[in-house]
A and B are shown apart, each in its own frame.
Chain A
């Protein structure tokens, strides 16, 4: 709990209307894109780097924990203020400061929404490739903090490949300016990369310089349906081995197709075990069409029963709307879901998909799988209802089994969602004790009082007690049973 005097000092920094402390408002800042929940003591919506720095200086002095928040769409429990304190939400810092055509880059505030940024740069003939499915709502600051990826990242790389510089407010309130409109820079350690993917545990990113590309003029999209899931997985390997780098290569399994079709109703067949969504872009229509035709041919060879090409932009948009709505549409099935984000070497996709099916059967849970098949990044989503006694325990078991399956196949826990609180107990299993120790040392150097995003990223204890990673979480009573 903060004292009245502490609250009034925060009000003095950002203005009373940007301090949210009512009971209902604390509920509003208690959740993210997961089913976890815990209220902060206060939520603050600053308008500038200066205000952020002043809040951080104050929190440092008073030793108040701080959780930075963008749109709160992360799928890792990353913005749940597990120990209360301040939630610092950057959604009002949403100005696109500059689009620089000479240096093909842009300067933005951290709260700018990805989709709005994309629309703006595209209207000026430029291109910002990272396209998380949450692009209509997630912020560029959140994207940087999670190193967000998306379908296009197979060809174009993820968020980290586009960050040229940033302004970061450290836990002490000091302001670090790093990088610039520079495409090369090895002047010392690459500090920007340290903050990318740091999930709000090392500092608050307030401003970002992003690299842009010329906008590809044409695209072509196809969707291929497979009666057998294994065939689809094999086709992914086939396409990637055919000398083509597709712009996207996405997979959906049958359960996913069913749910999505219910929402978008574009006539996807619901009796096939999988589909692949393929896209190529470029500047030469013929070349693009040829490559798509080649990919389609490979799919047919691997057992695709039917292939459809998008006739026009409208059809393309429909296919993409279907793809982007998966995560949300899964909510129609069961009230809760645990969305996982494993990565395996591409060649192991068939094996891991088979293993996930077995795990679903073992634990009696529906686990639709979809994801960025081209880069081996899959999203098995465990669906459940927290009100059913014993179900959460089975969800934990299934999640642990999926993590271990990925690790055993040479993969890892998370490709783009981050560790947060939901995967932290498995960190050491995935990266080893030495790596965890180095991470802890870095954290201590940048956040000596340990105030930033407490309870995230690092395992809470040692030993095999990690199996209780879900039920051990502090949540609002009634949200998880027990």
Chain B
């Protein structure tokens, strides 16, 4: 083999995934589900090529060339390929390795605004809350046009983030040890991850999650000291920052005597289930991370397994379910949300075509790869609209924001609702 061309630390990161890369026998099945390939029909935009590039990188046949960076940057890490691969390739592990290797040898590839966001805003919920509040304030006051035109946002590269903020105004949920007591007989105790984006922009959804769990006999705790899960950092190759955030969350949840750590954002759940992998080389945390990851459950996964009590209220609605990649592919939770929806009296669930195809949100993909992301979004909205559903139900804030924008753009009168909020309607005043 030729000499590796990467710095030793980056080389090690990738070598750890070499066997994983070799499991790809190049059958091409994953092309049929990869959102970026399905947009372009160009081999370099598919999983098979991304793996081959990573492998050539480890083997020293290839350097971190601009075209490698571009095609790997486009990868949404949606894991549709992992999910369909008969040969057992784990794309996210390769992807995190490649991105970390890039960061290790080049410095971050994220644009300045994103870097500022990741380094400064996300790890600190206080700051994020302030920023979100500010953004929401001028949204409400109709100052958007002005701010957009003035170029201030462009300068900060926050323009795009801003246009994706959901218009709903709900007070944030600051995790400080809140408790929701179970209704009826206690069946379980769970800890809730409030989440960075969830707790600030979707504070009410966090509360709805807790209420639904309580209605199902769960005691719900929101441990203090928790923070961002680190998904966005890991996806952008900021491995050290992601590990730091993981350690903080492990510390925050470790003491809680709970049956599960429940998450209502698919992206965060997938990342937290991956802490075991993220920290496997950290002697002081490897074991703790494994224990932590084993307790993480998506909200729908947990509730379906617990056996939901019958929702007392009817919700007359025609809905379609938009499957978040990080739930369906990364966590392989597909039936649970559908099962919960079907149990709501009066609700009609209509499946959309290509339900497994990514909506183009994929972590920060919608901010970094606008063009392709917009194409995927339009496709998802078309498929959803074709079911003539009144409401799109999702289980991830990224998809929520992405689709809200898609619906607005298409001028469609369809609402988008987080599954926790929908269940909350069905359990309200009941129990």
Contact = CB atoms under 8 A, between A and B. Distances in A.
A34 B26 CA distance: 7
A336 interface: yes
A51 to B, nearest CB: 14
A45 B23 contact: no
B41 A27 contact: no
A11 B86 CA distance: 37
B67 A73 contact: no
A355 interface: no
Contacts of B44: 20, 24-25, 28-29
Contact of B27 (A24, A327, A479): A327
A331 B28 CA distance: 13
A27 B2 contact: no
B32 A478 contact: no
A89 B43 contact: yes
A111 interface: yes
Interface string B61-102: 111011110010000000000000111100000000000000
Interface string B1-30: 110000000000000000100111111110
Interface stretch (A131-139, A214-222, A296-304, A453-461): A131-139
Contacts of A421: none
Interface string A317-361: 000000001011111100111000000000000000000000000
A interface, how many residues as a size bin? 35 or more
A369 B29 CA distance: 21
A143 B44 CA distance: 22
A37 B419 CA distance: 47
Contacts of A113: 32
A31 B52 contact: yes
B56 to A, nearest CB: 5
Please report whether the interface of chain B is mostly helix, strand, loop or mixed according to DSSP: loop
Interface string A459-482: 000000000000000001111000
B49 interface: yes
Nearest to B21: A335
B28 A134 contact: yes
A27 B52 contact: yes
Contacts of A31: 26, 48, 52
B330 interface: no
A397 interface: no
Contact of B87 (A134, A329, A478): A329
A263 interface: yes
B210 interface: no
A45 B59 CA distance: 28
A332 B19 CA distance: 11
A126 interface: no
A25 B67 contact: yes
Contact of A94 (B23, B24, B41, B61): B41
Nearest to B33: A136
A137 B32 contact: yes
A264 B406 CA distance: 36
Contact of A331 (B25, B32, B41): B25
A138 B67 contact: no
Interface string A85-112: 0000101101000000000000000010
B65 A24 contact: yes
Given A30-B52, A477-B2, A331 B86 contact: yes
Nearest to B58: A478
A328 B29 contact: yes
Interface string B34-51: 000000011110101100
Nearest to A74: B28
B73 to A, nearest CB: 12
A76 B45 CA distance: 24
23 contacts: A24-B71, A25-B71, A27-B49, A27-B53, A28-B43, A28-B44, A28-B48, A28-B52, A32-B26, A43-B43, A73-B27, A91-B41, A263-B86, A327-B86, A329-B86, A329-B87, A331-B88, A337-B25, A476-B56, A477-B2, A477-B61, A478-B59, A478-B60
3 nearest interchain CB pairs? A22-B67, A328-B86, A331-B87
Given A24-B44, A72-B43, A137-B28, 20 more contacts: A22-B66, A23-B65, A24-B67, A25-B67, A27-B49, A28-B44, A31-B52, A33-B25, A33-B27, A34-B26, A71-B31, A89-B43, A92-B41, A136-B32, A327-B25, A335-B19, A335-B23, A336-B22, A476-B56, A476-B61
